[in-house]
Amino acid sequence: MICSFLIAVPLSTLATSAPSIPDPLPLTGTLPRASDVTADAIRDAGDDVGALLKLAVAWAEGGSEASAVMAWERVLEIDPDHEDAHRGLRHHLWNGTWYSTYTALSSARRKEVARRLKEDGVVPFGEEWVLPGDLPFRKMNWEAVPTGGWAPPGTAARLADDATKKAAGWERQHRTWISPTEFDQWRSGLWKVGDEWLTVEDANKVHAELDAWWEVPGEHFVALTTVPEEDARWVVWWADQVHGDLQELFGLEPESAPEFVVLNSIAQYNEFSAGSTTTGRNPADASGYSSLHYAYFTDGWYDRSTPVPQFRASAAAYYDINDPGLKPYGQHAVRHAATLAWLESVDPSWDTVAEMVTSGALAFPDAAYWGEKRIPRWLRYGAAAYCERFFEDKSTPEGGDPLWARKWALENLRKGGDLDPIESILTLDLQTSDPEGSARLIHEAGLLVHYIRNGGDKKMAKAWAAFREALVGGSDTQEAAARLEALLLGSGKKVAAFYRK
């Protein structure tokens, strides 16, 4: 058994200049210890780094890890920066320094990260140091664009192409560029679809399909919709009407016009939400909330055409112009979806999104995603419900009632009885198993926003102003949001009275 401690490596694997390893001794007499044999071989190698490395490799391959370690350590005594020896000893290289244990590396890394963040305002990204705000975009392989900020791959080339076409006199038909040589077709009332010019009836048939939808830019939004072109104009017009309320509420402005989706029927809405195994399109609805209302946040929608999938955080709704019972609800669904899309644009969760799309799982991390927001979840849904049904309709013709939607919303809520406890509204525990109760919670969150804005509560107005100031100023909103919520929790009787009057 003692012989098993001796090193038996074929001499042919070593350089001729390397010291030979003694042959195993017979099982008689006193045998040298393995450490003595190793020490003798290392001593015979002297300062010959090459010989020592060959010893280390041979011992490691032969299963004599302890002997290999001694050889690599001897190499580091001669050359403290020798990479092969450090690798052999499983040391960790970071920031130009080798660390013998992962614990030592982690400690040094934490200290250096804290120092660089404090002194230079940067964080690590691979071998680089970058601004914290740039980190999620670097992870997603986005590119810096001339207009400022970051955008998905290919955006810079598209912007350059847009500029070239505009300079050459091209114009847009909705989002499609039209060459001056094709203006006659355009003026004749035709629509360009791909390389063809079609009548509006034929174009509507093409754009009635998912992912072939009309892309209609408005003043503040872009509608991606499968409804006919004439109705698509109404869709984006209704969306634009929520902009004023959102500006007054939050005081923010998106960097670009938010996109949102409007489908032409419940069936198509469900198809978009559920995804398709046939086409490989993933479900746009990860939470199942599309079943609660006629609009929802698209927490499962991805664009997989780039190496790193792009999370298309937006909103979807349906507007069925062919169903007389559903058609009147179209503008409310549009307003709700547009608001959700707008809020996502001004209050994204980029750190969570970057981790999500680069992890490969693409499962929606609900707690992390909403935890990163500066606008609380109840307030996001509340703002969407407020803009959907508690708005003042400033387009009402003379003699009409600009508060018609608000009165309708309150009447519908009152039919359902008393308000849920304010704590339940703020928690907003939406359950797909209770669509009616969950939809009511969303509408009640809209009532809270209505009360904050129009309830005449001076303390509430002051708390809201503090929250809005923190939001617009870019500072942490958590404390201001907590104060606002605490005040709402203590105002149950006032809110109930406001609800009933």
Within a 13 Å sphere around the CA of 271, how many CA atoms are in the beta-carbon half?
14
Neighbours of 257 (CB within 10 A): 19
Within a 13 Å sphere around the CA of 139, how many CA atoms are in the beta-carbon half?
20
Q: Spell out a b/e string for 39-56, using b for 16 or more CB atoms within 10 Å of the CB, else e.
A: eebbeebeebbebbbbbb
Band the pLDDT of 278: cuts 50, 70, 90: confident
- pLDDT tens string 67-93: 999 999 999 999 999 999 999 999 999
**264 vs 317: CA distance, rounded Å:** 9
Query: DSSP labels for 107-126?
Result: HHHHHHHHHHHHHH--EEET
Band the pLDDT of 63: cuts 50, 70, 90: confident
**57 vs 100: CA distance, rounded Å:** 19
Beta bridge partners of 461: none
Q: Which has the minimum average pLDDT: 2-11, 197-206, 295-304?
A: 2-11
270-279 own/partner pairs: CB under 8 Å, 24+ apart: 271/210, 272/210, 272/316, 273/316, 275/300
Q: What angle, 0 to 180 degrees and rounded to 10, lies between the N-to-C axes of helices 229-250 and 200-207? A: 60
> If you average pLDDT over residues 8-17, what whole number do you get?
37
CATH of domain 199-373: 3.40.30
Whether pLDDT at 393 is above 80: yes
> If you average pLDDT over residues 154-163, what whole number do you get?
93
Neighbours of 427 (CB within 10 A): 13
Helices (H), 251-287: 266-274
Average per-residue pLDDT in the chain?
A: 90
Neighbours of 37 (CB within 10 A): 20
Band the pLDDT of 268: cuts 50, 70, 90: very high
Band the pLDDT of 390: cuts 50, 70, 90: very high
Q: Which has the minimum average pLDDT: 1-5, 35-39, 69-73, 178-182?
A: 1-5
Token reading at 340: 């959700």
Q: Which of 384, 402, 283 is nearest to 336 (CA)?
A: 384
Whether pLDDT at 46 is above 60: yes
Q: Which has the minimum average pLDDT: 65-74, 176-185, 414-423, 430-439?
A: 65-74
pTM: 0.81
Neighbours of 206 (CB within 10 A): 15
Q: 341: which residues sit within 8 A by CB, 6+ positions away?
A: 221, 258, 259, 260, 314, 315
Strands 259-263 and 222-225: parallel
Q: 236: which residues sit within 8 A by CB, 6+ positions away?
A: 216, 217, 218, 221, 222, 223
Q: Where are the domains of the chain?
A: 2-90, 199-373, 376-501
More confident residue, 95 or 463: 463
Whether pLDDT at 33 is above 60: no
Whether pLDDT at 10 is above 60: no
**497 vs 67: CA distance, rounded Å:** 83
Q: Which of 61, 87, 62 is nearest to 72 (CA)?
A: 87
Q: 122: which residues sit within 8 A by CB, 6+ positions away?
A: 116, 129, 130, 131, 132
Domain 2-90 has CATH 1.25.40: yes
Band the pLDDT of 35: cuts 50, 70, 90: low
Identify the pLDDT of residue 149. 87
Q: Which of 446, 449, 454 is nearest to 295 (CA)?
A: 446
More confident residue, 357 or 27: 357
Helix (H, G, I), strand (E, B) or coil at 343: helix
CA distances from 409 to 90, 246, 415, 478 (A): 67, 19, 10, 30
Neighbours of 466 (CB within 10 A): 16
Calculate the CA 402 to chain-centre distance: 38
Q: 86: which residues sit within 8 A by CB, 6+ positions away?
A: 76, 93, 98
> If you average pLDDT over residues 310-318, what whole number do you get?
96
Whether pLDDT at 414 is above 90: yes
Handedness of CA 458, 459, 460, 463 (dihedral sign): positive
Whether pLDDT at 30 is above 60: no
CA distances from 307 to 125, 175, 299 (A): 19, 25, 20
- pLDDT tens string 134-154: 999 999 999 998 878 899 999
Whether pLDDT at 425 is above 90: yes
Token reading at 416: 């359902």
